[in-house]
Each structure stands twice: as structure tokens, then as C-alpha cells.
């Protein structure tokens, strides 16, 4: 997630994951070429042609779904968030007043080779809204900093990002993720982190 603008009027954040599209869409184009080439030579459907068609569909839709641009415009002077999503199959704009956003939390997932991945989520009066479709690798501190910027604009306490995130995950039934975040952030052992999460949920 990149900061596109940050001043007294607006904070603009952009999330545009190109990696999935950069892998999936060229693969889909290659398989489509193979399908067309095969149909030109022999239009009968067999296992090879069917496999190429299915492969094309899988790669194309994977690339199309995961290559979405999210633009978050926090309009300070209007006290509202304008959330624009654009992709191959959909365009959506959502407006959320600042007073409906209760918190911003860091969510933890498990990536390849057991590495932690992260994403931010907005906690509103009605629901928790992940700000990105998937989790991404990167430094936890960068996500924490972005969450702090949003919370400062909303006039909320930015010093509790990690504790609030741990609590939110534990309350949502994601106790292992909560423990992992406690371990990484506070450099705790497993038992110590587990006890920390239990104490936090009881407080």
C-alpha cells in the first residue's frame, strides 16, 4: 500500500497488486493462443484442448480477480473516506463517514515458507472491512505506520495499533494469528505470547 498524498486536506492510499496479474494474465494469453492454434488445426474436443481451455479460464479469472486497484481517499475537510475499487470486472465506490470508523487493525496471515503476511482492516460500527483482497509480505512496521497515519486523521489513539490488532484477531477467533503478532512485535516466546493474548482478552 502506497501513500499517494498526505497533507492537511487529504490522505490518499493506493493498493495495486500487479504481481498476480503479471504472472496469470500472460499465462492466460499463452494458453488462449494454444487453444486458437489447436482449434484452427483440429476443432474436435479432446483432453488436451479441454485442459488448455480450463487452464486459460483459471489463469484469466485469477489475474482479473486479484488485479484490483483500491484507492482510499481520506477527505479530512469532509470527514469521510471515499473508497474506490476498479478491476476488470467491477468498479465500485463506497463512502464511509469518519465517525463510523472505530479503528484500524493489522491482520496477519501465513505466507510461503511460514513467513508472516499482513493487511490492514477498517473496523466500522457494523463490520470489519479488509482494505485489500489478499495479504502481502513486507515490514510489519510499514503497515503499522500506515495504520497510525489513518488513526491520526480520524482523531484516534495511534499508539495502540498492535494491541488493538491482537485483541481484534483473538476476538474474531484468529488466536494463532494474534499470538504470532504478539511474538513478532514484543519478541516473546510462544507461551509468553499466548498468556499475553489471554490477559488482553480478559482485560
* pLDDT tops 80 at residue 153: yes
What pLDDT score does 191 carry? Answer: 92
Mean pLDDT of all residues in 62-69: 75
Whether residue 153 contacts residue 6, with contact meaning beta carbons closer than 8 Å, is answered with no
- H helices of the chain, where? 19-41, 47-66, 140-154, 161-171, 175-186, 190-202
Residue 143's domain is classified under what CATH number? 2.30.29
Residue 150: which of 78, 98, 93, 108 has the closest Cα? 98
What pLDDT score does 7 carry? Answer: 92
In the block, residue with C-alpha cell 502481502: 136
When divided into structural domains, the chain yields a total of: 2
> How many CB atoms neighbour CB 189 within 10 A?
9
Question: Is residue 41 located within the same domain as residue 54?
Answer: yes
Question: Is residue 102 located within the same domain as residue 143?
Answer: yes
* pLDDT tops 80 at residue 69: yes
| Whole-number Å distance between alpha carbons of 148 and 155 | 10
Question: Is residue 92 located within the same domain as residue 61?
Answer: no
Whether residue 111 contacts residue 137, with contact meaning beta carbons closer than 8 Å, is answered with yes
Q: How far is CA 30 from CA 43, 49, 64, 65, 86, in A?
A: 18, 13, 16, 19, 25
Residue 107: which of 162, 187, 185 has the closest Cα? 162
Domain contains 196: no
The whole domain housing 35 covers: 19-66
What pLDDT score does 111 carry? Answer: 66
Whether residue 25 contacts residue 60, with contact meaning beta carbons closer than 8 Å, is answered with yes
Q: What is the pLDDT of residues 3-43, one digit of tens each?
A: 899 999 999 999 877 566 667 778 888 888 888 888 888 87
Inter-helix orientation angle 161-171/140-154, to 10°: 100
This model's pTM is above 0.85: no
Q: Within the chain, what is the greatest distance between any pair of CA atoms?
A: 70
Mean pLDDT of all residues in 112-121: 82
Question: Is residue 137 located within the same domain as residue 147?
Answer: yes
What would you report as the CA-atom Rg of the chain, rounded to the nearest whole angstrom? 21
Higher pLDDT, 154 or 17: 154
Mean pLDDT of all residues in 112-137: 84
Domain contains 192: no
Q: Which triple of cell numbers denotes residue 34?
A: 494454444
Query: Over pLDDT 90: what percentage of the chain?
Result: 32
Q: Per this entry, what is the length of the chain?
A: 203
Question: Is residue 23 located within the same domain as residue 123?
Answer: no
Amino acid at each position: 500500500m502506497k501513500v499517494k498524498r498526505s497533507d492537511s486536506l487529504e490522505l490518499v492510499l493506493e493498493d495495486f497488486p500487479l504481481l498476480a496479474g503479471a504472472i496469470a494474465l500472460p499465462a492466460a494469453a499463452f494458453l488462449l493462443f494454444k487453444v486458437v492454434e489447436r482449434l484452427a488445426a483440429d476443432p474436435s474436443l479432446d483432453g488436451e484442448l479441454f485442459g488448455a481451455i480450463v487452464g486459460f479460464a483459471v489463469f484469466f479469472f485469477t489475474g482479473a480477480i486479484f488485479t484490483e486497484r483500491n484507492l482510499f481517499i481520506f477527505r479530512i475537510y469532509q470527514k469521510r473516506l471515499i473508497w474506490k475499487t476498479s478491476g476488470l470486472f467491477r468498479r465500485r465506490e463506497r463512502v464511509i463517514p469518519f465517525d463510523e470508523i472505530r479503528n484500524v487493525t493489522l491482520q496477519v496471515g501465513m505466507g510461503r515458507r511460514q513467513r508472516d503476511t499482513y493487511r490492514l482492516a477498517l473496523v466500522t460500527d457494523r463490520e470489519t472491512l479488509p482494505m485489500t483482497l489478499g495479504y502481502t509480505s513486507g515490514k510489519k512496521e510499514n503497515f503499522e505506520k500506515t495504520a497510525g497515519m489513518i488513526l491520526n486523521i480520524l482523531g484516534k489513539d495511534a499508539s495502540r495499533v498492535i494491541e488493538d490488532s491482537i485483541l481484534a484477531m483473538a476476538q474474531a477467533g484468529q488466536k494463532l494469528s494474534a499470538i504470532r503478532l504478539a511474538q513478532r512485535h514484543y519478541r516473546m516466546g510462544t507461551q509468553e505470547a499466548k498468556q499475553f493474548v489471554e490477559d488482553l482478552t480478559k482485560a
